[in-house]
Structure 1
Amino acid sequence: MNLSDLPRRFTIPFANGAGSGYKRVIPTNHVAASDTDAPASLQDGFPPETFTPIAAGGIPPNGADFNGLFNQLSAWARWQAAGGPAYFDADFAAAIGGYPLGAVVRASSAPTGSWVSIVNNNMEDPGIGALPGPTNWRFMAGLGATPAEVLERPARGDRVVTPYALAEASPSGVGATGRWEQLPNGRIEQWGRTSPISQNGGAVTIAFPTPFPMGCENLQLTTVNPAAAPGENYDMWAQIVGYTADSFTIIQQAVLSGAAATPLAVDWRAIGR
């Protein structure tokens, strides 16, 4: 089949303007015939009376049934030609015994995302359920999450995280004392290297590149000694005096067995929110 085989689309359903006397909804179950009317149904189609000659007591098919049937079929063809999706319908699911494996529907409560059924006879509504989401459906496609939604970690998995949204949800920057980055889960990491600090020279306070909105949770220090060698005659290490949401205070300690220790820089890394 080729693209050129695309059929003409229904811009309106068949019998769209037919009055109520000329179009009727086709019922699901059998409807008993009267002396002059033998209604069609989904169960029977056109009943036997409409196949019986009039001279033998038959009843002609009713034009309103033709209009009703073609109206419903063409309405669905029009919907699908317009790109309309199938929405989960609990009554429909009950009538057919549940959606089959591989069925793709939209949830009425979250109509911008598509869900694929991973079981047969699926009666579960994909729009209902606590974290991590429905049991018998998997999210297939939908709207891209906004950076705010990535950070908020919405309660349902009905958004697609695009590279753009992930990058925007992970802002980063450079400050006077180092660098910082915010992760999609809201955690903030900061790191840097101090200027050389003298041993036993007193406490030094260093501002974080950006304040932690909710506070610093952990701080790690490592003294940097470019001249480190097996025969070093002194040992130096940094200690944490304390930290706040805005800064941290450290002191450089040393054990000497010879010449005075050279001031050394300290690598630091902080985590918080």
Structure 2
Amino acid sequence: MNETIANRYILTKHIGQGGMADVYVAVDIILNREVAVKVLRGELSSDPVALLRFQREASASTALSHPNIVDIYDVGEDKGRHFIVMEYIRGKTLKQLINQRGALCKEEAIDIMKQLVSATVEAHRKGIIHRDIKSQNVIVKDDGTIKMLDFGIALAQGALQLTQSDSVMGSVHYLAPELARGESATNQSDIYSLGIVFYELLTGEIPFQADAPVQVALKHMRNEIPSVRDFNPSLPQSVENIVIKATVKNKAYRYSSCIEMLNDLNACLLPKHANDKKLVFTSKASGGQTMAYRQVD
């Protein structure tokens, strides 16, 4: 194809397409390296909402520097086309890996989650909520390193919502219940999505499926996440407890931060947690709805 953007990036291959943009492999002729270039589709350049989302992705991504987040090299506009230049990563998505291999062993699943949660810690530290964490937005390199990408609907805390529906743009299979109800995204919304990814790594499947997206959203709002130990009884209870605490319906009782979740991931296979009891959240109606948790045999 050999189309050139900004007199610098020669597009060589179309490798992906999202809701707003096309992604190409390109050669940076100044630094003589392969890069990935995301180009906002032409018809959306005059759409103020789409343009703002694209610019917001660029802004969020360039604010982040972390070994598990895709690096952004350049952002610009050329002849009315808006583009983002990022590192080109050879690998497959986490979704592709799971589809090929099914459930991963607990050690590999925990290692991937440590990287993913660590990347989210950095985003939250910068005040950025990703809002679309899912296995399709994670690239696994050949050496096992993961890279989080696609901050296309990320939202800086305190920023104005673009539209009412903007709060529920994330993939419905990883969607926190409060977002399905139309509430604003918080750090706990990302933690819920991380818990769903962990479930997927441990079982090879997403927890809820249905014919229509609204049915999936309703299941996230109403149904308990299936037990990963029902799928694999050999998993330690300490590992399942991380999924339980990350995906509890009431966001106030999820992990208070990704750092707290990361601490549990680092410790869950230690001998001191070998006999952990199952974490159970119970709802009590007296004096208004409250929630407590207990550990059971």
TM > 0.5 between the two?
no
TM-score (norm 1): 0.22
* Greater RCO (Cα-Cα under 8 Å, separation 6 or more): 2
Structure with the bigger percentage of helix: 2
TM-score (norm 2): 0.21
